[in-house]
């Protein structure tokens, strides 16, 4: 059963996965451009770190985009067919959802491997100034976790009913309204800031996306 679902998942999302894998493979190589040159000046350690940090902003974006697109691709055919195919299968719903989730997570292994291989090659090819070290495994691990968190989040939202989506949207709207009223009333109370702190700091769900994504560092 898993093989059949994985095959259908691959068919639906192969373009996204292929493009994502290429992007993930290329990104570490591009971020270390110039570091492999023999004539690179030894004075450029700061510039190198700066470039790596700038390119590093693309890792969480790529992870989010991959998670979102694969999650949408996972559920889109079911939504279009009004879940009739799924209902005809001799499976309880929880098992079907689990298989779908596992299939989506499996195809995401491609981009994660892409980034790991790209990072390892980039570090092996680069001549790093003394004091700087490469962290290809840590970066790939973090990227993997970020992709899976994004995928899980969008998978859960996509699997929900229109009512669930409405509830989530209503919650977001309520937060915005409260914030607007707090601002109008000149209260020193920021719901958005507090939510942001909760979400993007450890142990928040989005903490894995924040901070510096450095392929090389001190």
Partner 1 sequence: MFDRRLVAFASLLLAARALPAQDTTVARLRHRADSLAIEWRRANVLALIADSLERERAIGGRDTVAVGALRIVINRSPLAVREAAVQAWPLIDSLYGTAAQSLVTRPYFIQAVDPDTTVRRRVLRVGTEVPWNLSVQDLTSLLLVNVPIPPPDRAFGDWLGGPVRPRLEAKAVAGRVYVRLVIAPSQAARSCFLGDLTGCRSALDLDDAEDAFLKWYPTALERRVALQRSFADYFNRPATAGSWNRCTRGDDNACIQLLRSIPHHAIPQPLDLEGRRLLVYAALRLGGRGAYVRLLADSNAAMSNRLASAAGVGLDTLLYDWRREIIAARPAAVTIPPWGAFIAFGWIVLLAGCALTSSRWRVT
Interacting residues with partner 1 (CB under 8 A)? 41-43, 45-46, 49, 83, 86-87, 93-94, 97-98, 101, 129-133, 135, 138-139, 141-142, 145-146, 148-149, 152-153, 155-156, 159-161, 163-164, 202-203, 205, 207-208, 211-214, 217-218
At its nearest, how many Å lie between partner 1 and the CB of residue 134?
A: 10
- Least distance (Å) between residue 94 CB and partner 1: 5
Q: Which is nearer to partner 1, 60 or 179 (CB)?
A: 60
What is the rounded CA–CA span in Å between residue 77 and residue 158?
Answer: 12
CA distances from 163 to 157, 160, 166, 168, 208 (A): 11, 8, 5, 9, 29
Q: How far is the CB of 177 from partner 1 (least distance, A)?
A: 25
Closest approach of partner 1 to the CB of residue 98, in Å = 7
Q: For partner 1, which is the closer residue by CB, 67 or 114?
A: 67
Q: Is the CB of 4 or the CB of 168 nearer to partner 1?
A: 168
DSSP 33-87: TTTT-TT--GGGHHHHHHHHHHHHTHHHHHHHHHHHHHHHHHHHHHHHTTTHHHH
What is the nearest approach in angstroms of partner 1 to the Cβ of residue 174? Answer: 20
Considering beta carbons, is residue 90 or 203 the nearer one to partner 1? Answer: 203
Burial of 28 (0-12, 13-18, 19+ CB in 10 A): buried
DSSP three-state, residue 134: strand
Report the SS3 class of residue 182: helix
CB atoms within 10 A of CB 43: 8
Distance CA 157, CA 56 (A): 27
In the bound state with partner 1, the residue whose beta carbon lies nearer, of 90 and 130, is 130
Query: Which helix (H) or strand (E) segment is 216 a member of?
Result: strand 216-217
In the complex, the smallest distance separating the C-beta of residue 175 from partner 1, rounded to whole angstroms, is 19
Q: Please identify, using beta-carbon distances, which residue of 10 and 135 lies nearer to partner 1.
A: 135
């Amino acid at each position: 059963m898993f093989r059949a679902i994985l095959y259908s998942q691959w068919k639906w999302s192969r373009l996204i996965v292929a493009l994502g894998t290429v992007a993930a493979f290329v990104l570490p190589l591009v971020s270390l451009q110039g570091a492999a040159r023999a004539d690179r000046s030894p004075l450029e350690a700061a510039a190198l770190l700066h470039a790596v940090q700038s390119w590093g902003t693309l890792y969480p974006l790529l992870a989010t985009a991959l998670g979102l697109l694969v999650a949408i691709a996972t559920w889109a055919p079911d939504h279009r067919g009004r879940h009739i195919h799924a209902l005809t299968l001799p499976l309880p719903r929880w098992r079907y959802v689990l298989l779908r989730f596992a299939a989506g997570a499996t195809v995401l292994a491609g981009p994660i491997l892409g980034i790991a291989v790209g990072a390892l090659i980039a570090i092996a090819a680069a001549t790093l100034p003394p004091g700087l070290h490469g962290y290809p495994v840590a970066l790939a691990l973090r990227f993997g976790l970020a992709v899976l968190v994004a995928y899980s989040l969008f998978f859960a939202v996509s699997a929900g009913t229109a009512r669930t989506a409405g509830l989530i949207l209503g919650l977001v709207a309520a937060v915005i309204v409260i914030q607007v009223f707090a601002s109008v009333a000149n209260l020193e109370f920021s719901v958005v800031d507090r939510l942001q702190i909760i979400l993007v700091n450890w142990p928040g769900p989005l903490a894995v996306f924040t901070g510096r994504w450095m392929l090389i560092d001190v």
